[in-house]
Amino acid sequence: MGRISRDDVRYVAKLAELDIEDEEIEKITSQLDKILDYVAEVSRVDTEGITPLPHILDIKNVLREDVPGESITPEAALKNAPDESDSGFKVPKID
């Protein structure tokens, strides 16, 4: 235990753009700590000389010809937009 600190949790939440209330930090830290402590057992496995497989099946060189396909209309693109402005996806002030 003690694998992850509250500051780590705050840092990770910042990277993941998740708002975490101060009262939640304690609980989340302890839950994550338990999980990470469990999964950290992988470090005991000897992986000397193991090259991670890029893929389960030997699939490679999947390439598409440079031929135009269908695009959607701006209306369809913006259909789900929470906010729009002049055919663009509107976002609040960038900070």
Partner 1 sequence: MGKESKYESVIGLETHIELNTETKMFCGCRLSFGDEKNTHTCQVCLGHPGSLPVTNRKAVEYAAKIALALNCRINKYTIFHRKNYFYPDMPKNYQISQYDIPLGVEGHLDINMGGYVRRVGITRVHMEEDTGKLLHTGSTGRISESEASAVDFNRAGTPLIEVVTEPDMRSPEEAREYMINLRNLILFLGVSDCSMEEGSMRCDANVSVKEKAAKKIGTKTEIKNLNSFRFLQRGLEYEVKRQVDVLESGGRVRQQTRHYDNRSGTTKTLRSKEEAHDYRYFPEPDLVPIYVEDKMIEEVKKTIPELPSEKAKRFESEYGLTGEDCVFLANNMDMADYFEESCRHYDNPKNIANWIMGDFSALMNKNKVESIRKSKVSPKNLCKMLEIVDEGKISSKMAKSVFEEMFETGRDPGDIIESRGLKQISDEGLLGSVIDEVISENPEPVEQFRGGKEKALSFLVGKVMAKTKGKANPQLAVKIIKEKIG
Partner 2 sequence: METYYLTAHELRDKLDKKEISSTELTKSSFGRIEEVEDRINSFIRLEKERALSKAKEVDSLIASGEKVEELTGIPVAVKDNICTKNITTTCASKILKNYVPVYNATVVEKLESRNYILLGKSNMDEFAMGSSSENSHFGPVKNPWDIERVPGGSSGGPAASVASGEAICALGSDTGGSIRQPASLCGIVGLKPTYGLVSRYGLVAFASSLDQIGPLTRDVEDSALVLNAICGHDKNDSTSVNKEIPDYRSFLKDDIKGLKIGIPSELMVEGIDSGVRQRVDKVIKMAEDMGAEVEEISIPSLKHALSVYYIIAPSEASSNLSRYDGVRYGYRNKEAPTLRKMYKKTRAEGFGDEVKRRIMIGTYCLSAGYYDEFYEKARRVRTIIINDFRKAFEKFDVLLSPTSPTTAFKIGERMEDPLTMYLSDICTIPVNLAGLPAASIPAGLSKDGLPIGVQVIGDALREDNVLRAAYSLEKAIGFKDLPEL
Return residues touching partner 1 (CB under 8 A): 15, 17, 54-55, 59-74, 77-78, 84-94
Specify the residue for token string 């701006």: 74
User: Is 20 near partner 2 (CB under 8 A)?
Assistant: yes
Which residues, in sequence order, are CB contacts of 90 under 8 Å at separation 6+?
A: 81, 83, 84
User: Is 25 near partner 2 (CB under 8 A)?
Assistant: no
Q: How many CA atoms lie within 13 A of 27 on its CB side?
A: 5
Q: Give φ, ψ of 84 to 5 degrees.
A: -140, 160
Nearer to partner 1 (CB atom), residue 2 or residue 52: 52
- Are 10 and 20 in contact by the 8 Å Cβ rule? The answer is yes
**Residues 60-89: x/- map of binding to partner 2 (CB under 8 A)?**
--x-x-------x---xx-xxxxx-----x
Nearer to partner 1 (CB atom), residue 1 or residue 16: 16
User: Is 40 near partner 2 (CB under 8 A)?
Assistant: yes
